[in-house]
Amino acid sequence: MDWQTLGKCLISKKHKLAADLFGINETDFIKLKLKMIKVVESHKEVFIQVADYFAGLGAYTYGHFEKYKEWESAQAGQTSLFEDKKVVKNWSNSEKIRFPLINSFNNQCKNKTLTVGLNSTKGLKTHDPSKPINFWMYKPQHILDKAPRYSNEDTKFI
């Protein structure tokens, strides 16, 4: 990863809606300045944990969308006409935490007009990439196009 180039790209970016999303005073948010990017252990760094949270949230919604929708319907008291009445939905402890977080995050995105879709895309996806938060799944543009892969041997993207 070319950390210097990434740093140069991020230094000039200031997004008002990102400040709004986290309830940060806009003037305080603008005062934040990116000085340097370096590789760190994520469990020791709060901002890296936030980035990991968003990455995980996006990936999780694609992998568990149908189960999330079942949970959402159950919360609204709605049941399927064709559902077997004998089946009792038991949510795992992690689902009991994750599904309300997904729901709350989706509602916050809607309230802040961040154009993040969930239901229409069966996972978190930003419809307008100019907005300050972006979720997208990699899709090849050509038959020979491949997503970047991470190599542990030399800690670089290949």
Reported as a single tens digit per residue, the pLDDT across 33-57 is: 656 667 788 888 888 888 888 889 9
pLDDT of 4 over the 70 cut:
no
pTM: 0.61
User: Are 94 and 138 within one domain?
Assistant: yes
126 plus 52 within the same structural domain: yes
- 25 belongs to a structural domain: yes
Count of the separate structural domains present in the chain: 2
Residues 20-38, mean pLDDT to the nearest whole number: 59
Which amino acid is located at 17 in the chain? Answer: L
Are both 91 and 65 inside the same structural domain?
Answer: yes
Asked if residue 119 is part of any domain, the answer here is yes
Query: Could you tell me if residue 152 is inside a domain?
Result: no
Range name among 28-32, 88-92, 120-124 with the lowest pLDDT average: 28-32
**Residue positions counted in the chain:** 158
**83 shares its domain with 128:** yes
Cα–Cα separations (whole angstroms), residue 4 to 1, 8, 39, 41, 158? 9, 6, 12, 19, 17
The answer to whether residues 68 and 138 belong to one domain is yes
Assess whether 125 and 54 both reside in one domain: yes
- pLDDT band (50, 70, 90) for residue 147: low
Mean pLDDT is lowest, of 8-17, 41-50, 67-76, 111-120, for 8-17
pLDDT tens track for 67-94: 999 999 888 876 556 655 544 578 899 9
